[in-house]
Structure 1
């Protein structure tokens, strides 16, 4: 079994997940952004295929939380952007490691689904691979074998951008891996899959009074 190093970039919670505003009361928005990242990192650390998690962030609250979980932290340059943060994080990984970049908004992530995707990625040891999000437009996971740069193209229609750059799509049925959360509707869909404890504590049952959108 290959052992992977995973880079997860996390924006400061004060500016992160702006499209989610209104999904929970305003005074809970930053706690929700933190909960999404905390549940994502916890699930990645619980995956047997993962040997190391490096969180790239300049938010001291995020850094403290993920360090307590067992992740390593690299300070991000403020407003550097998602792809520069991933490249910076990758530069701090062992040169001959199997590497992956993962988005920080996967609160329903199951360690076994991430493990299955990483095992599938290791079948082609010379190629970058990626997993698209549930709609097939964005990217949730990008992988690279030793000696091959991740070359991230996250943001917007990144699935097409990664494919155009030569990365090969991963085609497995991994609903919890593909369910990133950008909007209230995404959060509701993730809740139906079963989110982690910290996100669950902030989200009411779907379709009930005061609930997230259904």
Structure 2
């Protein structure tokens, strides 16, 4: 069991996060306010589930978005400012350095903040399977990474981005392959959100989408 695990959740600013899901929360209208509400709901559900896992000592968010900072701080979640705001891996390296500089922190992991169907029991099962090894959980397409675990006392060494599953394998991380679909189901597209809905969304995301059915058609990218 990975007792004493501190999980970092890196989160982009609301203006930049999940552009391919634009319109999913308002029937395709694509309103920025509705999109921001969806991102916040997904983050809320991910954080709540991760905090409920028995093996997780604490969840620490890394973001410089003022709205997300206020929401998470109000829920009792520690927030580290994203420095130097140079992308996901830089944010995680910063958070890892901060946490490992604290007395009593022996192990750090990274969890994507877009897992609205995450179940604490499945996260615990994946952590048990990892044991003390450097390990990662691939996404449901088996190309990306949703969870990365450093070995105790070792740097996180994140390699997120396109092909991160192969990159993490190449860095010596052991793939975690097991019956924990909610840990693998990150949401980047409407299809992903549909898959998460089928697994069972967390309360915040579920309530928001109750009146906005998810379709498999992907809206044009705004990036």
Global fold match (TM > 0.5):
yes
- SS, match of residue 202 in structure 1: helix
- Structure 2: which 5+ residue stretches go unaligned? 217-223
Alignment correspondent of 1:24 = 25
| Aligned counterpart, 1:97 | 106
**Retained in 1: the 8 A contact 2:4–2:107?**
yes
Cα distance change, pair 58–78 in 1 and its aligned pair in 2 (3 A)? farther
Output one character per residue of 1:164-200: Cα deviation in whole Å (capped at 9) or x when no partner: 1111111111011100000001001101111111111
Which of 86, 92, 116 is 1:86 aligned to? 92
Deviation larger for 74-83 or 56-65: 74-83
1:148 has 2:154 as partner: yes
Q: With structure 2 as the length reference, what TM-score do the two structures score?
A: 0.88
Aligned length: 207
Tell me whether 146-155 or 183-192 shows the greater mean CA deviation: 146-155
How far, CA to CA, are the matches of 1:182 and 1:166 in structure 2? Answer: 26
CA contact (8 A) 1:204 1:212 kept: no
- Once the two structures are superposed, the pairs formed by residues 190-201 of structure 1 within 5 Å of their partners are 190-201=196-207
CA contact (8 A) 1:45 1:70 kept: no
Alpha-carbon offset, residue 78 of structure 1: 6.2
CA RMSD of aligned residues (A): 1.5
Equivalent residues in 2 for 1:65-80, closer than 5 Å: 65-77=71-83, 79-80=85-86
Q: Secondary structure at the match of 1:6?
A: strand
1:50 aligns with 2:44: no
Alignment check: 8 A CA contact 2:84 2:91 kept:
no
What secondary structure, in the 3-state scheme, does the structure 1 residue paired with 2:110 have? Answer: strand
Distance in 2, Cα, partners of 1:78 & 1:33: 22
2:47 corresponding residue in structure 1: 41
Instruction: Please report the TM-score for the alignment, with normalisation by the length of structure 1.
Output: 0.91
Q: How far 1:144 moved relative to its partner?
A: 1.2
Equivalent in 59, 73, 96 of residue 65 of structure 2: 59
Match of 1:211 in 2: 213
Residue 9 (structure 1) aligns with: 10
Contact 2:122 2:183 in 1 (8 A): yes
Unpaired runs of 5+ residues, structure 1, are none
**Which of 130, 135, 138 lines up with 1:129 in the alignment?**
135
Report what 2:220 is aligned to: none
CA contact (8 A) 1:42 1:69 kept: no
Equivalent residue for 2:120? Answer: 111
